[in-house]
Amino acid sequence: MTMNNMNDLKKIEKLKILSPGWFAFNSSRAKWTYPPHLKLIDKHLLDLSQRKISKLIVNMPPRHGKSELISKYFPAWYLGRYPNHNVILVSYSASFAVSWGRKVKSLINEFGDDYFGIKINPDATSSASFEISPSFPFIKAGGIMSSVGAGGPITGKGADLLIIDDPIKNDEEAHSKTIRDNIWDWFTSTALTRLEPNGIVVIIMTRWHRDDLCGRLTAQQETEKFKPNAEFDDWKILNLPATAGENDMLGRKPEEPLWEKRFPPEKLESIKNSIGSYWFSALYQQSPSPEGSGIFKKMNFRYFSTDGTTCIMKTGEQEQKLCSESKCRTYATIDLAVSDKETADFTVAIIFKVTKDNEILIYDIIRQRFSGADHPALIEQIFNRWKPVSLGIESTQYQIMLVQMLLRKGYPVVALKPRGDKSTRAMPMATKLENNIVYFRENAPWLLDFEDELVQFPNGTHDDQVDAFAYISEMVMPISNGSVSGSRIREIPENGIAVGF
């Protein structure tokens, strides 16, 4: 070995003892910031790589830097430190996992030679994997990084490091027990079996549901602790909510933000107002509500009265807001049932107005059992009485033909498609109620039954009115501030425009 090679080796070995966070800071030319929560994660990643711990869970809010550190900089640094090890990175889809793999490969192409004495083998690379080659003959390399989707095949691949980054894509998947079961089965029967004898695993998740992957692992760990003579390897769990509670891992005071420079209290409050306390508790506080807990809170119900020309919204005990009905837009949503038998579901129509300030006023509710033959007459009655600018009808099976017939007759009908389960569809309206922009007509004959169904949902006997109520959010989507339904959680920036990631 030459003197130059010896010097290179000493330099590389010195660099190897430094952390993933150090590599992120230097390779980004100091653009990557190092707030306390990322320092804590960095320390545990170093412990993980040194096998001081073998299993790590990181639960954190969106946009707080967890994936950038763990799915981008950490695997590049790890392959520099252990160039003969294999890394598997998993995310909710193969394409998303591959995008992280490309970033890791780009880092190694740019910095691998100088920092670690490694490079990418051009003869063993694809969109979903690449192999490490040594820059010097004394370096033992040959490690492979593979990127796959959760539930995808990884047979034949071994992992010295397994990274699982958000295996759940959105709220619809989170509320599907089938998908949660599939992820669990894949994790236990496929992913974990790929670990080498001294392999390590890190799971990064924003929490969506109490029964998600992290929820099940936590529950399993608590159960195992109390078994006699149990032998198990603890998961180290870093639970980092957007605002601190009691006994915070970082020593923060209660309500202190996790990353105040990027997410000060007023911004977090704005996000909470936009997505509602249910989703804020899950996604930002890492504390999903129990399944079956009440989604609609009676304390959030507000009321209005009308004399036929002016509506009076009661915004507080002694506060009112007036609105001219002529300046409101009228809409309707209908959830059609196709039988008038006593055991059948109810057909429900909700007529509502939207003010110039986007308040939603529930004017009338029709709840009755109709036969399919009576539906056209019901819809004609609603148009003649209320003259809505648009009427949304849930369209599945028979209703599709009805919508087509109504469109041919010139009615402004919108076909509404159910997405996700009932609780998921109800969330946007629960958020609007919480934000005090939904009002019910006081003393209406339908009011008591309607409120009872809302507060009992999802455990009540009926949910027909909830279904029609939930569709209001879709009807007013162009004028709403933001939603989590059917998409990745969206951050609401200062300009109020929703941006997905």
* pLDDT tens for each residue of 11-33: 556 555 589 999 999 999 888 88
| Domain range enclosing 144 | 3-253
User: Would residue 493 count as lying in a domain?
Assistant: no
The CA-based dihedral angle spanning residues 462, 466, 467, 471, taken in that order and rounded to the nearest 10 degrees = 170
CA angle 435, 437, 443 (to 5 degrees): 120
**Same domain (yes/no): 306, 248:** no
**Same domain (yes/no): 302, 249:** no
What per-residue confidence (pLDDT) applies to 181?
94
**Same domain (yes/no): 78, 172:** yes
Considering only CA atoms, which of 22, 72, 87, 71 is closest in space to residue 205? 71
**Same domain (yes/no): 317, 219:** no
**Same domain (yes/no): 453, 392:** yes
- By the 10 Å C-beta count (0-12 exposed, 13-18 middle, 19+ buried), 227 is classed as exposed
Considering only CA atoms, which of 486, 334, 469, 462 is closest in space to residue 395? 334
User: Would residue 267 count as lying in a domain?
Assistant: no
Q: How far is residue 70's CA from residue 221's CA, in Å, rounded to a whole number?
A: 23
Cis peptide bond N-terminal to 264, omega within 30? no
User: Would residue 280 count as lying in a domain?
Assistant: no
Structural domains in the chain (count): 2
What per-residue confidence (pLDDT) applies to 501?
22
Asked if residue 247 lies in contact with residue 239, where contact means CB atoms within 8 angstroms, the answer is no
Q: Which residue, of 238, 253, 268, is where some domain finishes?
A: 253
Q: How far is residue 404's CA from residue 414's CA, in Å, rounded to a whole number?
A: 10
State the SS3 of 85-133.
Answer: CCEEEEECCHHHHHHHHHHHHHHHHHHHHHHHCEEEEEEEECCCEEEEE
**Same domain (yes/no): 240, 324:** no
CATH of the domain at 370: 3.30.420.240
User: Would residue 281 count as lying in a domain?
Assistant: no
What per-residue confidence (pLDDT) applies to 240?
96
Quick one: CA dihedral 17, 19, 22, 26, positive or negative?
Answer: positive
CATH of the domain at 120: 3.40.50
User: Would residue 271 count as lying in a domain?
Assistant: no
What per-residue confidence (pLDDT) applies to 227?
56
**Same domain (yes/no): 343, 402:** yes
**Same domain (yes/no): 195, 308:** no
**Same domain (yes/no): 248, 384:** no
First to last CA, the chain: 49
pTM, two decimals, is 0.71
What per-residue confidence (pLDDT) applies to 155?
63
User: Would residue 394 count as lying in a domain?
Assistant: yes
User: Would residue 487 count as lying in a domain?
Assistant: no
**Same domain (yes/no): 352, 436:** yes
Q: Which residues of the chain have pLDDT under 70?
A: 1-17, 155-156, 224-233, 290-293, 339-344, 477-501
Which position has the token pair 């004028």?
A: 479
**Same domain (yes/no): 203, 327:** no
What per-residue confidence (pLDDT) applies to 16?
57
**Same domain (yes/no): 344, 424:** yes
User: Would residue 287 count as lying in a domain?
Assistant: no
Q: How far is residue 269's CA from residue 276's CA, in Å, rounded to a whole number?
A: 10
